[in-house]
Amino acid sequence: MPFIPPLADYGDGLLFRTQASTFAENSDSLFWMITWISVVFFIIVVGAMGWFMWKYRHRPVETFAPKTPSHNLPLELTWTVIPTLLVIVIFGFGFTGYLDQRTPPADAYEVRVIAKKWNFTFVYPDAGFTDSKLYIPVGRPVRLRMVSSDVLHSFWVPAFRSKWDIVPGRDSIIWFECTEPGEYLYQCTEYCGKDHSNMIKEGGVVAVPLDEFEDKLREIKTVKIQELEDDPLGGGEALFKDAGCAACHSVDGAKNACPTWEGLWGTTKKFTDGTSAIADDAYIRESILQPDAKIAEGFRNNMPSYKGQLEELQIMALTTYIRSLSEEGRAENVERDVPPVGGEPEAEDDSGADG
């Protein structure tokens, strides 16, 4: 077909990223088809305009143009009907492509996505871990079941030509089938506030060949647990960013939407209902799983529960990290023999995932 020469170049082209999903070719072909139709029309319109500008340029009034017809029904109908037919064709291709993208196959591998300001968390229910990277098998449809815990977000993988909004209060579904192993960029495309432009991860989508996929997930899980055990401090710090704690909590005493973690552990917290308690491990665990149980004085109840999102080991790591931010906590950490950041020397190169 004459309109697809740019597709011959399969690399990172002038206009598009390398195609990496089953939709991409379809979407790009349609794009180029429309583009070439547009170019033809553009040349007709602007070419005619330029030609007329030159050919009929201003002459003295005395050589006034002869009277030309001021309407011509067949001509009018021609340029009404031809574009109409063309756009119907474009519409047809567009709609069939859209139907493909909106009908996930039944056997798709499902990953859950939790979007919040300002990160995506991918929950692998089968594998039982969460990560800020999306691991997908090549050649098997993947379905993302996405929820938002605050405002609107939108999940876009440009290499897959695939995008869908994540609407709070609804389950948003998107699916795609990756064709090339590799690492791709994902990003948020629905404006969501201050760090909207940081909801982007280069290499955030990792496509693994289908036969290696299970192993890959197991491997990641093992690594994650190992990391947390070896380096609860570093793991906790990474979780602080990856799980979205950093959106509301600070670790330097700055007052954000939620209490700062600096000097939190071991102090006595006052709550809105008038009671108070010492911020110990149990309190922190409860605050993570059941944030509305006790609300710190001066703050609103605006934290979502992390129940089911964080593993016990991860909560422990976070607690360790929070401990390291106060005097009492550091003493406690020393007492409990927590390894320093970076963990044991042998685990060093794996630590601080995604840092």
Partner 1 sequence: MSAAAPAPPTGESGLDPDRSHHSEHGDADGHGEHAHVHDPHSPHGHAHHFESWRQQFDAGKLGMWLFLAQEVLFFSGLFCLYAVYRSLHPEVWEYADRFLSVPHGAFNTAVLLFSSLTMAWGVRCAMLGQRIGLTGCIAATLFCAALFLGVKSFEYTEKAHLHILWAGATEEPVMGGTRYDTPLVDVTDQVAEAEASSLTFAERESAALEATDVTLGKISVGCAIVALVLMVGAGLCWKLKANGWMVGLAAGVLCAIGMLVGAEGSMLLAHEMHGDHAGGEHHDGEAHDGHVETAHEMLEAESDVEIPPDGIGQFFSIYYVMTGLHAVHILAGMVVLTWLMIRAYRGDFTPDYFGPVDFVGLYWHLVDLVWIYLFPLLYLIG
Partner 2 sequence: MAVETPTDYAAGEAAPSPERAAVPAGPPGYAEDNYLNHTKGLMSWLVTLDHKRIGMMYLVGVMSAFLLGGIFALLVRAELWTPGETIVTAETYNRFFTLHGAIMVFLFIIPSVPAALGNFVLPVMLGAKDVAFPRMNLASFYLWCGGAIFFLITLFRGSLDTGWTFYVPYSTSTETAVVTALTGVFILGFSSIFTGLNFIVTVHTMRPPGMEWFKMPLFLWAIYATSIIQVLATPVLAVTLLLLAVERTTGIGVFDPAYGGDPVLFQHFFWFYSHPAVYIMILPGFGIISELISTFSRKHIFGYRFIAYSSIAIALFGFLVWGHHMFTSGMSTVAAFVFSLLTFSVSIPSAIKVFNWLATMYKGNIWLATPMCYALSFIFLFTIGGLTGLHLGALATDIHLHDSYFVVSHFHYVMVGGSLVAFLGGLFYWWPKMTGKMYNDFWGKISALIVFLAFNLTFFPQFILGTKGMPRRYYNYVPEFQFWHQVSTVGAFMLGGGLLVAAVVLVHSLLRGKKAPANPWGAATLEWQCSSPPPHNNFDHPPTVGDPYALNRVVYDPDTRSYRQIDEFSNGGTPQQTAKV
Q: Which residues bind partner 1 (CB under 8 A)?
A: 116-117, 149-151, 168-169, 257, 291, 300-304
The rounded distance, in Å, linking the Cα atoms of 94 and 209 is 30
CB of 240 to partner 2, least distance (A): 20
Question: At its nearest, how many Å lie between partner 2 and the CB of residue 211?
Answer: 30
Residue with smaller CB distance to partner 2, 98 or 344: 98
DSSP 210: H
Beta-carbon-side half-sphere exposure of residue 307 (alpha carbons within 13 Å): 7
Least separation in angstroms between residue 89's CB and partner 1 is 34
Residues 6+ apart with CB under 8 A from 201: 120, 132, 133, 185, 186, 187
Smallest separation, CB 80 to partner 1 (Å): 30
346 binds, among partner 2, partner 1, none (CB under 5 to 8 A by kind): none
Nearer to partner 2, 29 or 226 (CB): 29
Query: In one letter, which amino acid is 310?
Result: L
Residue 308 Cβ vs partner 1, minimum distance, rounded to whole Å: 16
- 97 vs 263 by CB, closer to partner 2: 97
Residue 85 contact, options partner 1, partner 2, none, Cβ 5-8 Å cut-off depending on partner type: none
Contact indicator for 94, 71 with CB cutoff of 8 Å: no
* Long-range Cβ contact pairs of 13-19 (< 8 A, separation 24 or more): 16/158, 17/158, 17/159, 17/184, 17/185, 18/159, 18/180, 19/159, 19/161, 19/179, 19/180
Nearer to partner 1, 147 or 174 (CB): 147
Q: Which is nearer to partner 2, 163 or 216 (CB)?
A: 163
φ, ψ of residue 113 in degrees (nearest 5): -125, 130
Cβ nearer to partner 1, comparing 205 with 303: 303
Q: Which partner, partner 1, partner 2, none, binds residue 65 by CB below 5 to 8 Å per kind?
A: partner 2
By the 10 Å C-beta count (0-12 exposed, 13-18 middle, 19+ buried), 192 is classed as: buried
- Distance, CA of 258 to chain centre: 24
196 binds, among partner 1, partner 2, none (CB under 5 to 8 A by kind): partner 2
> Cβ 167 to partner 1, closest distance in Å?
12
Tell me how far, at minimum, the Cβ of 302 lies from partner 1, in Å.
4
Could you say which of partner 2, partner 1, none residue 191 binds, taking C-beta under 5 to 8 angstroms by partner kind?
Answer: partner 2
CB 312 within 8 A of CB 319: no
For residue 180, which phi and psi values (nearest 5 degrees)? -125, 130
Tell me which of partner 2, partner 1, none is bound by residue 94, counting a contact when its beta carbon lies within the kind-specific cut-off of 5 to 8 angstroms.
partner 2
With tokens 């088809």, the residue in question is 33
Q: Choosing among partner 2, partner 1, none, which partner's interface includes residue 303 (Cβ < 5 to 8 Å by kind)?
A: partner 1
User: What are the angstrom distances between the C-alpha of 106 and each of 97, 109, 110, 226, 300?
Assistant: 18, 9, 10, 34, 42
User: Which is closer to partner 1, CB of 102 or CB of 300?
Assistant: 300
